[in-house]
A and B are shown apart, each in its own frame.
Chain A
Amino acid sequence: MKRVVSVSLGSTKRDHKVTVELLGEEFEIARMGTDGDFNRALELLRDLDGKVDAIGLGGIDVYLFVKEKRYAIQDGLKLMDAVKTTPVVDGSGLKNTLEREVVRILAAETGLLKKGAKVLMVSSVDRFGMAEALAEIGCAMTFGDLIFTAGIPYPIMTVEELEEIANKLLPEITKMPFHLVYPTGKKQESQDEAKVQKFAHFYHNAEVIAGDFHLIRRFMPSGMQGQIILTNTTTSDDIEFLKEKGVGTLVTTTPEYGGRSFGTNVMEAALVAILGKQWDQISAQDYLDLLHRLNFRPRVVTLQA
């Protein structure tokens, strides 16, 4: 049996372990949260190094891609550098492939994504592939990176402006302590009430809300009217939360195992374990071929009758 572990800066409440079969081989996939404790995450990573087949880093990104440019988050690199032997990934390689594919499937095979649909991406620099794919099929985009990361109520409406601002900010923002730009640990279990109220109209005006689930959850107001959520990491509690808020449909880019969809980092770690290559030797086409062999499909859950 192969073992894949995701070490996350997120809450321990979301810890989970399942056994699944992928291409005829058994995998034990586990997620271990550290409640935002960076040093605890370092300890865990050092402890797991050499003992498991692949490691995912959760609750933090290491690499952000803006078209061909790649920016490394310094706190994420510190975590990655703690692992010397086992392949370690942050999900960014898979995101760029899988999430483009999911948008293509949803547009071509379901009525969930249509040209002209109003889409709010709460954060897009962490999934630029999804942002580009949504814009390419003609969705009316609102990129909320400045709104939900910095509290600046400035919606970015085009991929071109997103790219310009990202290239301006990311070289330095990636050096900031990660907890200043992303909810880690216990913050993932609560909502930022002031911003929920202040920015509610961005959610209410959208037909589709896409992006990182912790951000979507942290700022989601009540009174949603059947909107579609396009994200990855959700638990059964998250599904209840979305139902209560009035969300209509949940689409997760990663498949469901044991009642929840794991983060992209977990799935990328599993794919790396299957491929048996070092991360930097794996191409987007390798992932795409493997996704097709595994018949990975987005999970669509109807939440309101």
Chain B
Amino acid sequence: MATQQEIKESLETFTENYNNNDRLKIMNRDWNRVVVVKATDVDSVHTWVLQDGVLKLKEGEADAPDLTVISDSETLADVFYGDITPIEPYNDGTLRIMGSEDDITRLDFICLMIWGE
């Protein structure tokens, strides 16, 4: 099990990697979305706001997110630190993502673009 602090640090790492990637920011200039990330086994809820290509992280839950990512703390920390990709836990049901199929696919592509850099 990961701690609330570890999840927070993994999300901060992901945010920093995203914002340091100029190509990703160009790719997502048109995609303004709110993404909530929740852990199932520790008290941890964070919200990403992607606006004009720039990603910002804050603690707490947004009212009407476009995407909600839910998993156990260990999986969340592993995914957002880049130790594992989201595809396998998504396929086996460990990681659930609620939102439109198009948004889910795009989020997967963004994650993979970050780790491959």
Contacts and interface: CB of A to CB of B under 8 A. Distances in A.
Given A180-B101, A180-B104, A169 B91 contact: no
A151 B102 CA distance: 7
Contacts of A172: 85, 87, 108, 112
Given A172-B87, A175-B87, A175-B91, A181 B105 contact: yes
Given A169-B113, A172-B87, A175-B87, A151 B106 contact: yes
A151 B85 CA distance: 20
Contacts of A146: 27, 109
A249 B13 CA distance: 50
Nearest to B114: A168
A169 B112 contact: yes
Instruction: Tell me if A's interface is mostly helix, strand, loop or mixed.
Output: helix
Contact of A150 (B30, B85, B105): B105
A153 interface: yes
Nearest to B113: A168
Given A172-B85, A175-B88, A177-B91, A151 B105 contact: yes
Interface in B73-117: 85, 87-88, 90-91, 101-102, 104-106, 108-109, 112-113, 116-117
Contact of A153 (B30, B102, B109, B112): B30
Nearest to A176: B87
B55 to A, nearest CB: 15
B87 A180 contact: no
A154 interface: yes
B42 interface: no
A175 B27 CA distance: 23
A262 B39 CA distance: 49
B116 A169 contact: yes
Interface in B1-50: 23, 26-28, 30-31
Contacts of B117: 168
B77 to A, nearest CB: 19
A173 interface: yes
Interface residues of A, number: 18
Contacts of B116: 167-169
Given A172-B85, A177-B91, A152 B27 contact: yes
A164 B65 CA distance: 32
A153 B106 CA distance: 11
A165 B115 CA distance: 12
Given A172-B85, A172-B87, A180-B105, A154 B112 contact: no
Contacts of A150: 105-106, 109
A173 B91 CA distance: 12
Contact of A152 (B91, B101, B104, B109): B109
Contacts of B30: 153
Given A168-B112, A175-B87, A175-B88, 16 more contacts: A150-B106, A151-B102, A152-B106, A153-B27, A153-B30, A167-B116, A168-B113, A169-B112, A172-B85, A172-B112, A173-B87, A173-B108, A176-B90, A176-B91, A180-B104, A180-B105
Interface of B: 23, 26-28, 30-31, 85, 87-88, 90-91, 101-102, 104-106, 108-109, 112-113, 116-117
CB-CB nearest 5 A-B residue pairs: A168-B116, A150-B109, A154-B27, A175-B87, A172-B85
13 contacts: A146-B109, A151-B102, A153-B27, A154-B23, A154-B26, A169-B109, A172-B87, A173-B87, A173-B108, A173-B112, A175-B91, A176-B87, A176-B105
